[in-house]
Amino acid sequence: MATPMNRRARPFWRSTLALALLAAAAAVGFYLYSEHRGHLYGAWPYLFLLACPLMHLFMHKGHGQTGHGHPQDDPKEALVEEVRK
Q: Are 71 and 82 in contact (CB under 8 A)?
A: no
Q: Place 18 in a pLDDT band, splitting at 50, 70 and 90.
A: very high
For residue 59, the model assigns a pLDDT of: 83
For residue 72, the model assigns a pLDDT of: 54
For residue 2, the model assigns a pLDDT of: 58
- What is the reported pTM? 0.43
Return the higher-pLDDT residue of 3 and 79: 79
pLDDT tens for residues 35-80? 999 888 898 899 889 998 888 888 876 555 555 555 456 666 767 7
For residue 31, the model assigns a pLDDT of: 94
pLDDT at 85 over 80: no
